[in-house]
Structure 1
Amino acid sequence: MIETKKIGNYRYRILALLMFATTINYFDRSIIGVLAPTLQKLFGWTNSDYAGIIIWFQVAYAIGMLIMGGVIDRLGTKKGYTLAIGTWSIFGMLHAVVPASFSILGFSVARFGLGLGESGNFPAAQKTVAEWFPKKDRAFATGLYNAATSVGAILAPFVVGWIVHENGKNWQIPFLITGALSAIWVFLWFKIYKKPEVHPKLSKEELEYIVSDSEIENEEKLPWKMVLFKRQTWAFALAKTTDAVWWFYLFWGAKFLSLNFDVDVKNIGLPFFVIYILADFGSIFGGYISGYFIKKGWSINKARKLTLLSCALIILPVAFVAITENKWLAIFLIGLGAAGHQAWSCNIFTLASDVFPKKAVASVTGIGGMSGAVAGIVTSFALGKALDSAGKEGFFWAFLIAGSCYLIILGFVHLLMPKMTPLDENLKLKSE
């Protein structure tokens, strides 16, 4: 804290805006998961119908990740982030005007647009972190804004439970709330954000600290195909397939608790609060611990990968969720898995800025997000079919995979990127 006071802390204002945007992002995308049992009864959806609606979001998210990462790298963080949040806010509010007679089609279109817009959040946020924080602090900064995903996911069940009746009355209102929040964010973003090199309110000392472990890059744009064919890109993309697990908790968690423990829209708030508070702790601590190891003299490779290994081991017990008969034990195990995932996630995000130059970070993050979305599409489709054919027993395999996949994926990431040697501004290996 003493060091921060000497050099200034304006970068944390920027981080606060990333947290605010990510909170809005996850509040918006979480609403349908909380409302899933209610909407299924209201509109007569099958599990496969619901899975299809979710898949349209994930398809758009996958497409958007490929597009938005490159767009943000070219437009810059300020304009690119505004484009993303404006898009997702419009389509988020469109959910509220979908007529019952066209509910599946209407929700599918709204989810598709929402996915396109929301795909820009993490490429823009991670590029901002790369611009505003030195490498040794990026995992912690990422952990803080990534923790806002849980804030949004916590707010959703409480807001929905407060506003929406058990019979579904007022289900539209939560979808409209995000529009006002987004307008506030855009105003603040345009007022506050500039690159650190040209920001008039940033002290010389803080700028020196921000660039203390980075090299000055040229302004030449990198062709997208140069990023695409790097094995480091695909190591990151493979690690991001675990996003499917997080989306499983987000979109199917309320459904699981409803089927197994009769948790409805009016009492889903506390279980989600427990799950996502644990997830917040994991995000912040996971980001802190790898940075702590780096400051103690560990290599970035060792610090990141041992942290990721610890996360994978913490997540393992979630494999047993579907066979427990105790509601709160099941909730705790899901929360433990969510905590481990968020710790894993903030370190995985940081891998992109550890290895790639700043001007490629959004593109790489987008490619990784695309792989996570594709994995989510496959799991949503399979789970919807399994639940329709086998009932709640379909959750057994879902939780088994959710608990065990991280260790396997980490092994492949290490094979693809054994030393995490940074790439220069032309994507050539630097000497260690």
Structure 2
Amino acid sequence: MGKTQKIGTYRYRILALLMFATTINYFDRSIIGVLAPTLQKLFGWSNSDYAGIIIWFQIAYAIGMLAMGGIIDKLGTKKGYTLAIGTWSVFGMLHAIVPASFSILGFSIARFGLGIGESGNFPAAQKTVAEWFPKKDRAFATGLYNAATSVGAILAPFVVGWIVHENGKNWQIPFLITGGLSAIWVFLWFRIYNKPETHSKLTKEELDYIQSDSEIENEEKLPWNKVFLKKETWAFALAKTTDAVWWFYLFWGAKYLSLTFEVDVKNIGLPFFIIYLLADLGSIFGGYLSGYFIRKGYGINKARKITLLSCALIILPVASVAITGNKWLAIVLIGIGAAGHQAWSANIFTLVSDIFPKKAVASVTGIGGMSGAIAGIITSFLLGKALDSAGKEGFFWAFLIAGSCYLIILGLVHILIPKMTPLDNNLNHITKP
């Protein structure tokens, strides 16, 4: 702790802003999942109608991930992040003015715009972590800002439950809240953020620490197609297909609890608090664990993969959720799955900055996010159809896949990149003399 004080802690102010932005992002994203049973009754949506609205968000997220990563690498983190949060805030607030007469179309348009904007959060945040933290600290830093996804998801049911009546009155207000929060964030971001190399408030000791285990990079831009074709990019994209599981918890969790245990909008707060508190703890611990292994002398490849294997094993019991008859046991099992996922997520995000030069981090993160969004589109479509035809029994297969897919995916990632060899400025493997 003394060493951290001596070298300075300005990088943690930047990390706090990443956590704030990610909290806003997930608060905005989670509102519709919490309100799903209420909105379905209010507007007469079927499960397939609701799935279609969610899918429009996921389509936009996939498109945006592919585009936003490159845009952020080109504009730089400061301008790129501001563009992303401004876009998602406007479309988030637009949900509130959708009239009942064309609710499906209106919500689909609003969700599409929200997805385009929100797709920029993780490429920008991960690029910021790569710029402001040495490799040995990146998984922990990622775990902290990634934990803010759960903070946003925890806040959403409490805010919605406090403001929205059981009959749906005031459903518009939660969608408007994030506009004010985003304006505060943009003000702070422009006041505080610059790249470490040019930041006037950063001490030389802290800058040296940040750059202590990174290669010096040139400013030459990398062609997007060169990044796209690397097998390391697709190993990350494969690992990110697990985003479909996280989105299943986020967008269908309230629906599952409503159908199975009759949990309504006024009672969803505590179950979501338990699930996402566990997810927060998982994110922070997962980020800490691989860093602990590195400090113990493990190579990055071994440290990250042992941690990912631990996550996959922790998640396995989720496969049994749909056959439990106890509400609180189901909630705890989902929470354990969410914790394992967030620990997994913190480490796979860090794989990008472990392997790729900083100037490619946002692009690769975007490509992986696109992969996760496409997986989410497929699962939302199939689950909506399954629930309309089979009722709540459709959740059986969803939880079975959610619990078992991580082990399979980790095996495939290891086949693609058995050794995580860093890439240089031109995306060639760095060979040690």
**Alpha-carbon distance in structure 1 between the residues aligned to 2:14 and 2:405:** 34
Q: Deviations over 1:139-161 (max 9, x none)?
A: 00000000000000000000000
**Alpha-carbon distance in structure 2 between the residues aligned to 1:21 and 1:425:** 29
Corresponding residue for residue 416 of structure 2: 416
**Is the partner of 1:122 in helix, strand or coil?**
helix
Which residue identity lines up with residue 161 of structure 2 in the other structure? G
The CA deviation at 1:215 is 1.0
Corresponding residue for residue 343 of structure 1: 343
**Is residue 2 of structure 1 aligned with residue 5 of structure 2?**
no
Q: Deviations over 1:382-404 (max 9, x none)?
A: 00000000000000000000000
**Is the partner of 2:391 in helix, strand or coil?**
helix
Which residue identity lines up with residue 313 of structure 2 in the other structure? L
**Alpha-carbon distance in structure 1 between the residues aligned to 2:143 and 2:243:** 15
Corresponding residue for residue 93 of structure 2: 93
Which residue identity lines up with residue 192 of structure 2 in the other structure? I
Q: Deviations over 1:115-174 (max 9, x none)?
A: 000000000000000000000000000000000000000000000000000000000000
Corresponding residue for residue 363 of structure 2: 363
Corresponding residue for residue 222 of structure 1: 222
The equivalences for 1:29-428 within 5 A come to 29-428=29-428
**Alpha-carbon distance in structure 2 between the residues aligned to 1:405 and 1:4:** 39
**Alpha-carbon distance in structure 2 between the residues aligned to 1:226 and 1:361:** 13
The gaps in structure 2 that reach 5 residues or longer are none
**Alpha-carbon distance in structure 1 between the residues aligned to 2:310 and 2:79:** 37
**Alpha-carbon distance in structure 1 between the residues aligned to 2:201 and 2:275:** 39
Which residue identity lines up with residue 123 of structure 2 in the other structure? P
The CA deviation at 1:201 is 0.3
The CA deviation at 1:2 is 1.4
Q: Moved runs in structure 1, 4+ residues, more than 2 A? A: none
The CA deviation at 1:96 is 0.0
Aligned length: 432
**Alpha-carbon distance in structure 1 between the residues aligned to 2:262 and 2:253:** 12
The CA deviation at 1:60 is 0.1
**Is the partner of 2:267 in helix, strand or coil?**
coil
Corresponding residue for residue 17 of structure 2: 17
**Alpha-carbon distance in structure 1 between the residues aligned to 2:8 and 2:293:** 24
The CA deviation at 1:114 is 0.0
Q: Deviations over 1:59-93 (max 9, x none)?
A: 00000000000000000000000000000000000
Corresponding residue for residue 431 of structure 2: 431
**Alpha-carbon distance in structure 2 between the residues aligned to 1:296 and 1:3:** 18
**Alpha-carbon distance in structure 2 between the residues aligned to 1:3 and 1:125:** 25
Corresponding residue for residue 26 of structure 1: 26
**Alpha-carbon distance in structure 1 between the residues aligned to 2:124 and 2:32:** 24
**Is the partner of 1:425 in helix, strand or coil?**
coil
The CA deviation at 1:3 is 1.4
**Is the partner of 2:60 in helix, strand or coil?**
helix
Q: Deviations over 1:363-416 (max 9, x none)?
A: 000000000000000000000000000000000000000000000000000000
**Alpha-carbon distance in structure 2 between the residues aligned to 1:2 and 1:217:** 30
Q: Deviations over 1:338-369 (max 9, x none)?
A: 00000000000000000000000000000000
**Is the partner of 1:430 in helix, strand or coil?**
coil
**Alpha-carbon distance in structure 2 between the residues aligned to 1:252 and 1:133:** 35
**Is the partner of 1:174 in helix, strand or coil?**
helix
The CA deviation at 1:431 is 1.3
The CA deviation at 1:418 is 0.4
Which residue identity lines up with residue 209 of structure 2 in the other structure? Y
The CA deviation at 1:8 is 0.4
